[in-house]
Amino acid sequence: MRIQSSLARNARSILALTDHVQVSATVLSPIVQGMPFFGVVAVKAAVLERGRFHLALQGDGGLVHAFDATSNGSGYLVGGGALTSLCLRDDCSSLLSASASYNYVLADGGGHGQSVVYGGSIVHRVGKHVKLLGEVTSAFGGTSLSNTQNTDGVLAGYGFIERGDDGWRLRRPG
């Protein structure tokens, strides 16, 4: 059983129950005025491994709570998705990944919505102890899948991953 944890502006912990099943918890705490609290728990299971191609399914549930001067509201979400990766090298030290997940959101007062979050990333080993990372994520959502709106822009990230005595660690410039 492995446990991985990272702290920055958010907290994320991952518990590997087996080689094919893991549980994660992610919390994004409000760090600026108007930012909501967000927490989600997910279970991910590997369902297909064919050579360099891997497929996993994930189920999740979570909470969003807004701290606003005019209203305090909460939303609850439940959903699932698929995550794929393609190893670019025999040892899988470099890989392409893509994911898509659907969430049904139920707000206080009976309102509801739906969202789809999708993204991709590449990890490329450039040395024995260093990998480069690039990732992009976006989403669309609305009150129903026939009434959706794309998110303006994308969330893009980059950085490098280095191996230390305690395992691989993500480092982002800045």
For residue 104, give the H/E element and its range. Answer: strand 95-107
pLDDT tens digits, one per residue of 39-81: 999 999 999 999 999 999 999 999 988 876 566 788 899 999 9
121 assigned to some structural domain: yes
33 assigned to some structural domain: no
Backbone angle region of 110, left / alpha / beta, with phi > 0 → left and psi within -120 to 50 → alpha: left
- Long-range contacts (CB closer than 8 Å, 24 or more residues apart) made by 165-171: 167/4, 168/131, 170/6, 170/133
82 assigned to some structural domain: yes
pLDDT tens digits, one per residue of 106-133: 988 788 888 888 999 999 999 888 889 9
Q: What angle do CA 22, 7, 80 make, to 5 degrees?
A: 35
104 assigned to some structural domain: yes
**Pick from 40-44, 78-82, 100-104, 146-150: least confident:** 146-150
15 assigned to some structural domain: no
Total domain count, the chain: 1
* pTM, 2 dp: 0.76
Range of the domain at 159: 50-171
